[in-house]
Amino acid sequence: MKQYITLDPWKIIEDSFNPEHHQITESLMSIGNGRMGQRANNPETYNGDTLKGNYIAGVYYPDKTRVGWWKNGYPEYFAKVLNSLDWVKKEVRIDDQLIDLSTSAITSYKRWLDMQEGILYRDIALQLESGKSVNIHTERFYSIADQDRCFIKYSIKAVDHEINVTITDHLDFNVRNSDSNYDEDFWEDRSQGFQNQYGYISAKTKKTDFLVAASFDSQLIIDDKAIESTKDLSTGEVSHRFNFSLQPNQTAEHVKSVAICSSFYYDKSEVLDKAINQVKDPIHDYSSHKQKHILAWAKRWQSCDIKIAGDVSAQQGIRFNIFQLYQTYSGEDSRLNIGPKGFTGEKYGGSTYWDTEAYCLPFYMSTGSQEIAKNLLIYRHNHLAKAIDNATLLGFEKGAALYPMVTINGEECHNEWEITFEEIHRNGAIAFAIYNYIRYTGDQDYLISHGLDVLIGIARFWAQRVHRSPSTGLYVMMGVTGPNEYENNVDNNWYTNYIARWCLQYTRECIDKIRKNTSDKWTLLKANNSIEETELDRWADIISQLYLPKDEETGLFIQHDGYLDKEDLTVEDLREKDRPINQNWSWDRILRSPFIKQADVLQGLYFFEDHFTKEQIKTNFDYYEPKTVHESSLSPCVHSILASSLGLKDKAYEMYLRTARLDLDNYNNDTEDGCHITSMAGTWMSIVEGFAGMRVRDGRLSFAPVIVDSWDSYSFKINFRGKLLELSVDKARCSINNHSDQPIETAIFDKVLVVEAQEQVSFALQG
Amino acid sequence: MKQYITLDPWKIIEDSFNPEHHQITESLMSIGNGRMGQRANNPETYNGDTLKGNYIAGVYYPDKTRVGWWKNGYPEYFAKVLNSLDWVKKEVRIDDQLIDLSTSAITSYKRWLDMQEGILYRDIALQLESGKSVNIHTERFYSIADQDRCFIKYSIKAVDHEINVTITDHLDFNVRNSDSNYDEDFWEDRSQGFQNQYGYISAKTKKTDFLVAASFDSQLIIDDKAIESTKDLSTGEVSHRFNFSLQPNQTAEHVKSVAICSSFYYDKSEVLDKAINQVKDPIHDYSSHKQKHILAWAKRWQSCDIKIAGDVSAQQGIRFNIFQLYQTYSGEDSRLNIGPKGFTGEKYGGSTYWDTEAYCLPFYMSTGSQEIAKNLLIYRHNHLAKAIDNATLLGFEKGAALYPMVTINGEECHNEWEITFEEIHRNGAIAFAIYNYIRYTGDQDYLISHGLDVLIGIARFWAQRVHRSPSTGLYVMMGVTGPNEYENNVDNNWYTNYIARWCLQYTRECIDKIRKNTSDKWTLLKANNSIEETELDRWADIISQLYLPKDEETGLFIQHDGYLDKEDLTVEDLREKDRPINQNWSWDRILRSPFIKQADVLQGLYFFEDHFTKEQIKTNFDYYEPKTVHESSLSPCVHSILASSLGLKDKAYEMYLRTARLDLDNYNNDTEDGCHITSMAGTWMSIVEGFAGMRVRDGRLSFAPVIVDSWDSYSFKINFRGKLLELSVDKARCSINNHSDQPIETAIFDKVLVVEAQEQVSFALQG
């Protein structure tokens, strides 16, 4: 694909109109504020390729499942993020010509997403059919300062001749999901009206009964004079129509100020009033809203930015990733989570996968706050009862919990047996996140207040999911799919077995500690969870006798039983035309091939690095990396981090490049559906845990930085246990700045040191 | 379920009206003649539960595939048998009351399918709302003597009062498939009209462009006097309306004589004429048509019947199975095959599975003729090019052929990866059928004219599908699903590996023989198939080094790698509420359980019985039988046959009962969708190969009969190489009658003997 996005450290820029990539640009320039967001649809009529998308966090619909062949146990519904009201829509006619970028003569074009400000801009010049010229400037944003608010400013300037203009400015709730399984309209009870000049519309979702209401004010100013509008209503739509003329060089400035409220945040009875009342702010407030919003982004960037000097492409890539993550989820609400496409598309239903725990948590924990990370954990705690129901449905007993592979409300949505029923390692990542959170934050209280409930449910699942092999006497786990989804229904997946054993062990350790130190708490916990001693004994038995496939001779951990019978090929044996194999090979061929989508064993070595020697890690990395095709967006970052830790700088950078600009360069040829939000956290990890080698050990952060050859320097800030520190690395040295008012104990290249409050220490780079 | 079908040796009888089982009865009483058929829908208006079904052989539509998650390589279409015109439909009004059995007062009711005659009868008496009584008699059939023809006679008698009657008699082409994936109408261009009194309709299928036309004559006679009708037309419908009065005891006899022709058999330009011209037969011909039809069935029963004395239930069961098989496929046309539901329902699309080769072929070969069996083989030969295309699509090369799992026209229809792509053992059954046919018929010419083309394509597939394991050095076959569909994506399925090796071996042997004996034919064959010596060498290498999982200690053939790690449970360990497991367990639980849908290894031992010792067979039967839940209709017959051969009479009879009355007693609770046609051949096999121990060895039939304790006697005829012989078995003796004009060499209990023409020999039963 043509690299049509211009490089810039802070902006995503489209310098000329690219209708052939329009849906990709719509994804890339998506904006949002954690509570809602939208794709970068043109505000005017647009008859070219477009995927309309406006989304509101937490508002979903259980779409009836569509499968070819039903399997017992499949969920009946797939909860989907909803395409919601279109608030930017307007119809613009100039001298009776309908403005539509797919047909209009564009003489100048620039669209850019300013990530520093969080604002999407567009400047275009058109030549009308009449030969006259007009310039149009737009800017829009979802305020991160006032999260129900969004704004679009639209300025038209007559360049050379007088023009007559009609702008019809809409809120439009006549929208559908393009991925509806049965072409169903998910919304009903659309209503609309005006309260004084404030137009409003509302609709509710079928079944889930979410109410969404929006209100807007629409003001058009020419030379400081407001133009009167005509007000129109039709089902699900409310609009202002402005008719006016502009003289050469005269500009009309149209500001639409919108509030969108949902019953996810407000009581149903007040949703509409909340929307209208917020819009009743005076319209001249646009610039103050804009300022507040820009300031809020500036503050956010203060702590989460990564600066890279000497490589604009890498700089743009990492900022794009960070920006999209914070647009998607800003962490205030434990009922929300991070969908794989965020607010950039419908695909995958906007649901939560194991990506959150395995990839996103470390990012939010370090760049945001402990509270954000905790909210992500509490999300799963809230869903524990449903995870137990889910396991019960699948034949498990006594409080065993299986978290869904894909969910919005805690119920399983997915319907491919090899994933839904067998990709059970997700339970492991959810347990690991609890451990990881406590390791990072030191928040031991969380274990007793929430963590152990989840750990016990998960441990029980593993304990029932394994059985003792009659032929070997060891515990085995049959019929699973690991993170490497290019293997289905395998026995003894090393990663799954390993994380299962670790879960049982960690849960037992936590229980033992509580039992020993706070016996009253233990008594309560034991009673609440109906824990029996025989159960704990069985866990111990499994821990000591769970089979982990290993080649004793080479020290290789074997991906799963039978993997060594596969042809011994590497990715280099693939022909160009075979790649990506998931677009060129039938599924059986992928399954029986040795090629790996993302490497299970390496994921395990990444999580449990301290359990293994460097040599063990290297043996397995050297074996599995060459077999990995990285056709999961979640794959390259783990390889990058491991490569960094093994001193394989070139490999680490190669893998970094695959993750950092995945969407900007449309590597997977699917960015038109939306951006790969969750894997963006992996990009951050590749720098922070990879190049900078950040780890938490013994309650302190440690670093072991290297620098990519093509970079001059890089730096980032980390919030660790309430203290902000900054790591800066250049060609020769690295330094740690302690921006907090307390000393921080840290380690660089295994040397423990204390950095005093507001002080900096500096070291020469190694190697 | 209530056993509401009355026992009778020749009839399927419903003695009282069972609206709650109406759809089941519609399936059971289906009628057909190999070229077309229908479910036993009531001819009158019926507002109760009903699945309307009229089907025409060979006429299909490629319905757009519906899946939840698309996998690369899935077929875009699923070819479906079509619900076609409804020719029995009529609207009956008596004294202005619409007759509808779902609401009318039924005072007497009997419906029966006379399998000896091949005619469906119904006698009912109704009390009208006016208090008057009427009797209605109907009879209908598809002529097996004139295969485009079908007839229904409908007699109404006024019992006690004068009645006024209106009968509107239709041909109706406004029909849909109830299983259409997107509610699509598969028919178009409906047209209708009259030529003199002969009404006609036609329609063509979208895409596949099959033209179907039907014509009918409708005559109503009262006291030898014909009543005039009014003729009506509307889109896709043509009808005669009769108005008349009947005095008490007076009867109106209405005969509808229909011809249905399709472009599957006739040139499009003549389809309609063919239909009309056939109907122009004088109407008084009904009784001669009926007689011809009954005589044709009598002739057919002559050779295919199995008589069982002392067990009406078993007698009804086996005749029902034989009757349905011959209604479905009568063998004249190599373009047709046997759908799993025949003409009794839409389900499974009317497609061909491996059932034909593995189960149906022996039945038709022995009860019908060599020609029928050959046609079934040629069906696959006709599809060879498409099987090669299919394999090519999946990445195979150089003429490797993979036959579809499910097909109507040679193209794969199915879309579950674990079946479509992995249940490749079907290729083995297709090769085995060639071997089986030649073994039975001695028709060596077939090998050169057709057989080897198919064998070479299949052998090439196997040779490419295996590879040498780098860890063991043996050839392995990874990622398959065996006949036991309760295991997916397993490695080294013993059955599949075994039949693959046998295919390579048999193909090589055939090639070697031709090469040696007829070198000119070999030269041609080699050139036509571009066979290279290196290819044959590779086959030899695979034959000698293909891995077959086996427990050396016990002699157990292991179902697939890892099976012995499963929990060692038997079906007795299952709770009542768990069964059938496919309705109570989620798919993963089924997959990781040791329970078997139909036993792979035993299927292999059945096919290749002579390769193994009785002890080997017994070891494996004793191990696998107790783990088999028989949730495939194809399972019990193989176990019954093996049990017979091992002298396990009780087990053999238990398994026989599961197969013989599967639909009549609705064991699987799904007969409303249609009958399990292909497994019906397994019932026949259970008696002939099981109880009677029939085998073909060294070019002659051999028998080793036993008799079920509850039976007084049983007998059947076998057509072997153009000679008809009959085996009769009673409590004490068995005898063989040679009904042919030539002596037959045969063997009983391993004793070879010659039965002279038209003679009988008799032996005491053993054991």
Q: What is the pLDDT of residues A421-433, one digit of tens each?
A: 999 999 999 999 9
Share of chain B above pLDDT 70, in %: 99
User: Would you call A565 and B478 a contact, using CB atoms and an 8 Å cutoff?
Assistant: yes
**How many angstroms from the chain centroid is the CA of residue B499?**
24
- Nearest CB partner across the interface for A588, out of B422, B565, B566: B422
**Stretch B339-360: mean pLDDT:** 88
Whether A32 has a pLDDT exceeding 90, the answer reads yes
User: Would you call B394 and A67 a contact, using CB atoms and an 8 Å cutoff?
Assistant: no
B470, B472, B494, B710: which is closest to B603 by C-alpha?
A: B494
**Stretch A698-706: mean pLDDT:** 94
Distances from the Cα of A686 to the Cα of A329, A338, A374, A602, B563, angstroms:
20, 19, 23, 14, 41
Domain B5-302 bears CATH identifier 2.70.98.40 = yes
Q: What is the pLDDT of residues A710-723, one digit of tens each?
A: 999 999 999 999 99
With an 8 Å Cβ cutoff, the interface of chain A facing chain B consists of 65-69, 71-73, 393-395, 415-417, 421-422, 467, 469-472, 476, 478-479, 488-491, 561-562, 564-568, 582-589, 591-592
Q: What residues does CATH 2.70.98.40 cover in chain B? A: 5-302
Q: Which residues of B touch A489 (CB under 8 A)?
A: 488-490, 591
Start-end of H helices in B608-714: 614-624, 635-645, 649-660, 677-685
Query: What is the full DSSP assignment across A167-197?
Result: EEEEEE-----TT-TT----EEEEEEEEETT
Backbone angles phi, psi at A492, to 5 degrees: 55, 55
**What pLDDT sits at residue A350?**
76
**Stretch A511-529: mean pLDDT:** 90
Q: What residues does CATH 2.60.420.10 cover in chain B? A: 692-767
Q: What is the pLDDT of residues A157-172, one digit of tens each?
A: 999 999 999 999 999 9
- Nearest CB partner across the interface for B421, out of A416, A470, A587: A587
Band the pLDDT of B181: cuts 50, 70, 90. confident
Terminus-to-terminus CA distance in chain A, angstroms?
38
A715, A40, A16: which is closest to A324 by C-alpha?
A: A40
Whether A344 has a pLDDT exceeding 60, the answer reads yes
Whether B283 has a pLDDT exceeding 60, the answer reads no
How many angstroms separate the CA atoms of B33 and A226, rounded? 83
Structure ipTM? 0.92
CATH of domain B692-767: 2.60.420.10
Per the residue annotation, which of B346, B412, B485, B689 is the catalytic one? B485
B619, B612, B497: which is closest to B559 by C-alpha?
A: B497
How many angstroms separate the CA atoms of A378 and A605, rounded? 26
Band the pLDDT of B562: cuts 50, 70, 90. very high
**How many angstroms from the chain centroid is the CA of residue A2?**
26
Q: Are B429 and B357 in contact (CB under 8 A)?
A: yes
DSSP assignment letter at B450: I
How many CA atoms, within 13 angstroms, populate the side-chain half-sphere of residue B308?
25
Q: Please give the CATH topology (third level) of the domain spanning A5-301.
A: Beta-galactosidase; Chain A, domain 5 (2.70.98)
B36, B39, B41: which is closest to B149 by C-alpha?
A: B36
Whether B69 has a pLDDT exceeding 90, the answer reads no
Q: Six-digit token pair at B327?
A: 């209604």
Q: Are B247 and B162 in contact (CB under 8 A)?
A: yes
Share of chain A above pLDDT 90, in %: 88
Which residue in chain B has the smallest CA separation from A414? B68
Q: Is A202 helix (H, G, I), strand (E, B) or coil?
A: strand
Whether A283 has a pLDDT exceeding 80, the answer reads no
**What pLDDT sits at residue B30?**
96
Quote the mean pLDDT of chain A. 94
Q: Are A441 and A700 in contact (CB under 8 A)?
A: no
Q: What residues does CATH 2.70.98.40 cover in chain A? A: 5-301
Task: Find tokens 């009947």 and name the residue.
Answer: B246
**What pLDDT sits at residue A300?**
95
Q: Are B632 and B597 in contact (CB under 8 A)?
A: yes
- Nearest CB partner across the interface for B67, out of A68, A395, A472: A68
**Stretch B149-168: mean pLDDT:** 96
Instruction: Name B719's Cβ contacts closer than 8 Å, sequence gap at least 6.
Output: B303, B366, B367, B368, B369
Query: What is the full DSSP assignment across A324-377?
Result: HHHHH--SS-TT----TTTTS--GGGG-B-THIIIIIHHHHHHHS-HHHHHHHH
**What pLDDT sits at residue A2?**
55
- This prediction's pTM: 0.94
**What pLDDT sits at residue B275?**
96
Q: Six-digit token pair at B144?
A: 């097996």
Distance from CA of A415 to the nearest CA of B (A): 7
How many angstroms separate the CA atoms of A410 and A385, rounded? 9
Q: Are B757 and B738 in contact (CB under 8 A)?
A: yes
Q: Are A666 and A675 in contact (CB under 8 A)?
A: no
Whether A767 has a pLDDT exceeding 80, the answer reads no
Whether A1 has a pLDDT exceeding 70, the answer reads no
User: Would you call B467 and A567 a contact, using CB atoms and an 8 Å cutoff?
Assistant: yes
**What pLDDT sits at residue B284?**
57
φ/ψ bin of A444: left (φ > 0), alpha (ψ from -120 to 50), beta (otherwise) = alpha
Q: What is the pLDDT of residues B385-419, one digit of tens each?
A: 999 999 999 999 999 999 999 999 999 999 999 99
Whether A339 has a pLDDT exceeding 90, the answer reads no
- Helix (H) and strand (E) counts in chain B: 22, 34
Distance from CA of B414 to the nearest CA of A (A): 9
Band the pLDDT of A765: cuts 50, 70, 90. confident
Q: Is B752 helix (H, G, I), strand (E, B) or coil?
A: strand
Whether A211 has a pLDDT exceeding 90, the answer reads yes
**Stretch B116-134: mean pLDDT:** 97
Quote the mean pLDDT of chain B. 94
- Nearest CB partner across the interface for B421, out of A422, A561, A586: A586
Q: Which residues of B touch A587 (CB under 8 A)?
A: 71-73, 417, 421
**How many angstroms from the chain centroid is the CA of residue B575?**
33
Q: Are A474 and A400 in contact (CB under 8 A)?
A: no
Q: Which residues of A touch B68 (CB under 8 A)?
A: 65-68, 415-416
**What pLDDT sits at residue B282?**
66
- Nearest CB partner across the interface for B66, out of A66, A395, A582: A66
Among B477, B586, B629, the residue to mutate for chain A (most A Cβ within 10 A): B586
Q: What is the pLDDT of residues A80-125, one digit of tens each?
A: 889 999 999 999 999 999 999 999 999 999 999 999 999 999 999 9
- Nearest CB partner across the interface for B588, out of A67, A421, A562: A421
Distance from CA of A618 to the nearest CA of B (A): 21
Which residues make beta-bridge pairs with B55? Answer: B37
Start-end of H helices in B484-612: 494-517, 519-528, 533-545, 581-584, 587-592, 600-607
Residues of A marked active site are found at 485
Q: Strands of B36-38's sheet, edge to edge? A: B31-32, B36-38, B54-56
User: Would you call A489 and B491 a contact, using CB atoms and an 8 Å cutoff?
Assistant: no
Q: Which residues of A touch B574 (CB under 8 A)?
A: none
**Stretch B238-261: mean pLDDT:** 97
Task: Please report the sign of the dihedral spanned by the C-alpha atoms of residue B731, residue B733, residue B734, residue B739.
Answer: negative
Q: What is the pLDDT of residues B519-549, one digit of tens each?
A: 888 899 899 999 999 999 999 999 999 999 9
Q: Are A93 and A99 in contact (CB under 8 A)?
A: yes
**What pLDDT sits at residue B13?**
97
Query: What is the full DSSP assignment across B47-115?
Result: -SS----EEETT-EEEEEP--SS--TT--SEEEEE----B-S-EEEEETTEEP-TTTSEEEEEEEEEET
Least confident of B38-52, B552-566, B653-667: B653-667
**What pLDDT sits at residue A76?**
87
Q: What is the pLDDT of residues A238-263, one digit of tens each?
A: 999 999 999 999 999 999 999 999 99
User: Would you call B68 and A68 a contact, using CB atoms and an 8 Å cutoff?
Assistant: yes
**Stretch B17-46: mean pLDDT:** 96
Share of chain B residues as helix, strand and coil, in percent rounded to the nearest 5: 35, 25, 40
Q: Which residues of A touch B582 (CB under 8 A)?
A: 72
Distances from the Cα of B533 to the Cα of B526, B527, B536, B738, B746, angstroms:
10, 12, 5, 48, 41
Q: Which comes out higher in pLDDT, residue A422 or A69? A: A422
Q: Which residues of B touch A586 (CB under 8 A)?
A: 71-73, 393-395, 417, 421
**Omega cis (within 30) before A580:** yes
Q: Are A287 and A84 in contact (CB under 8 A)?
A: no
Whether B158 has a pLDDT exceeding 90, the answer reads yes
Distances from the Cα of B704 to the Cα of B227, B362, B602, angstroms:
62, 18, 20
